[in-house]
Structure 1
Amino acid sequence: MNILNTATDWAKAELFSTPFFILFGVAFMAASLGFWQLGKTVIARAYIVPTLVAGGLLLIIGLGLFFTNKARITEFEIAYNKNKSEFIKSEIERSESTLKEYNTVVFKAIPIIIIVAALFIIFIDKPIWRAISITTIAMMIVILLVDGTAYARIKNYKEQLELQNK
């Protein structure tokens, strides 16, 4: 098994999944434009800013991850050719760190944010707060969907690194 190919395949898979953040970001921004142009009710007008902000955040996340992972592909080859064992060791450490971040942020913090947003929907009767809450829940679901698959990929990648390291 060539660990450089494994690392490159992982980075390419990440390059495939991160545009989904961009796609959803554009969709949220299009929804914001739609609410701005077509929204006649108070609740419809309340969605303009929250969906625009959520779309912008998803675009920033997607673009940041895309360019980071694109740069990694060339960095992998340089680091691997420089020192194979050090490359594997550093990738294991990076993947462990990333998995811990996923466990904290994606699988603990995001569900808490969704619960708090749902409580806002129930207990606050203002249209703007309901729009913010619903948009927040939608954005968090997008993040959970995309990052859930990324978690599985990096976990598999870490296992392959550990097998190579033995």
Structure 2
Amino acid sequence: MDILKTATDWTKAETLSSVVFILFGLSFLLASWGFWHWGKTDVAKAYVIPMLVAGGLLLILGLGLFIPNQARLTSVPLAHSTDASGFIASEIARADKVLNDYRIAVFRVFPLIIALCALLIPVLTFAHWRASLITTIAMLAIILIVDTNANARLEAYKAQLSLAARSG
């Protein structure tokens, strides 16, 4: 098993996930601009700021993942060639930490926030509140979709790392 190729492929897949966040961030910004430019109703105008904020947050998230992953593509071969067993051990520890973070944030906190927002939509009648709640649901749903895929990829990557560690 070529663990270096596995680590590089996993990093490239993570880079793709960050590009998806960037594209959705740009889509939200474009939607915000569209609501600002063509929105005639109070409801349409209410989406301008929430979409702008969500787009900015998704862009920050995407760029915050893209830049380190690009740097990681060059550092992985060096780390692996310097100390292969240390590299595998550090990757397993990092995977465990990220999987735990996913378990808490992505699979517990985000669904709870989505449910809370969904419950508040019928209660809050002010257009800005509803637009904010609906935009929050949309943004968190995108994060859930991308991170669920990333979680599955990370579990498979960790399994391959564990197999490589056992085989020595």
Q: Give the length in aligned residue pairs.
A: 166
Instruction: Give 1:88's aligned amino acid.
Output: I
Secondary structure at the counterpart of residue 18 of structure 1: helix
Deviations 1:56-102 (A, max 9, x none): 00011011111111111111111111111110000000000000000
Deviation at 1:16, TM superposition (A): 1.7
Instruction: Give 1:63's aligned amino acid.
Output: L
Match of residue 36 from structure 1: 36
Question: Structure 2 length as normaliser, TM-score?
Answer: 0.97
Q: Which runs of 5+ in 1 are unaligned?
A: none
Aligned-residue Cα RMSD (Å) equals: 0.7
Question: Structure 1 length as normaliser, TM-score?
Answer: 0.98
| Displaced runs of 4 or more, over 3 A | none
CA distance in 2, matches of 1:28, 1:159: 36
CA distance in 1, matches of 2:15, 2:90: 21
Deviations 1:4-37 (A, max 9, x none): 1110010011112211101110110011001101
Match of residue 54 from structure 1: 54
Q: Which runs of 5+ in 2 are unaligned?
A: none
Instruction: Give 2:31's aligned amino acid.
Output: A
Match of residue 141 from structure 1: 141
CA distance in 2, matches of 1:17, 1:115: 25
**1:85 and 1:165 in contact (8 A); partners too:** yes
Q: Identity across aligned pairs (percent)? A: 52
Instruction: Give 1:62's aligned amino acid.
Output: G
